[in-house]
Structure 1
Amino acid sequence: VFDRSGTSHRYESGGIHGIERVDEFHRIEIVWMGTPEQVVAESERIQERYRYIFEEILELTWRKAWVTPWFMAQEGLTGTSGSEKVGTIDYESLIPYRDGWLEFQNISVNGDKYPTGFNVKSQSGSELWSGCSGVGLERWASTFFAQKGLDRDGWPSAFREIICELPEGFVFL
């Protein structure tokens, strides 16, 4: 399932300010479900595509961090849920002007949390897992502009080839 039908609304307190921390933002949500093996394989496939985009197209300085999924943290659970495959990977990018890292992307293998919670079952009776990945477009833009600047001539050539020509920016009189 792929959704980009509307804005997301979330208040995130903390020390992040500016375009990278907004209460209303645009997000593409990717959700998949299947057997545990299928869900893990899809997560690995998506992770490889993200790596390709971040390194080969956007040429970003980035890293991955394995974290406790938010739903486990809210329930007071830490570590694994009985499987080392269940969890969330946060993607973080270097923000040079702040000399720090910004989470700009994540991907989660949620195990059976949501299929069980929503009473979703397979016809065969086999165990179902789900996974998801949220693409925050403002965070991607913040990451890209922080590392590559606003001058199109300084952007990676693979990215410029994809976006072709852009309209001229604002002119102040």
Structure 2
Amino acid sequence: MTDERPSIQERYSTARQTSDLSLDPLTSMSPADVLTASGWAAQENEAAMLLWGVVYQGKTSDKLRLVEVLGSQLNAKMGKDRRLKGDAWKIAAEMLAWFLHGTCRPCGGLGYERTPGTPALSNRLCKVCQGTKRAHYPRSAAHIWMDAHLGSLTAKAGGEVMKKLARSMEL
């Protein structure tokens, strides 16, 4: 039997879109609970929660703020690791754009070539993305670091919200 409960990402996305933030004392997973836990998590992990906010409701002002935060983090890392070179804020903006919209265009993010003259996919991997479904990005050490950092922040955001929700259930 599969677990049909929504993931924390789905709960967060729904909570960001709802107009009903009434509290339900019988649950700790209502939209109000999820948003409250997100706020608590943001106090300790601003960049992670800012990234989640951009992913699930990308306001331009939030994207600009996130680029500033990511650029500052990369700039600090560049001060410690001389292999990382470039304009930290430009790299942060490029990698955030790739993270949000980096789907391979030739295959439409499907990973396989289309069969000519049909809407069907072939069994041949896309020649551009080699089946990854993602567009390529510059492979400088700084770009690679930022890619890994964005992945880490995404995982951290979900984990932190779940920890805050679990702690609120114990109270």
Q: TM-score range by the shorter chain?
A: under 0.3
Greater per-residue strand proportion: 1
Greater radius of gyration (CA) = 2
Question: Please, what TM-score do these two structures have when normalized by structure 1?
Answer: 0.23
Decide which structure has greater helix share: 2
TM-score, normalised relative to structure 2: 0.23
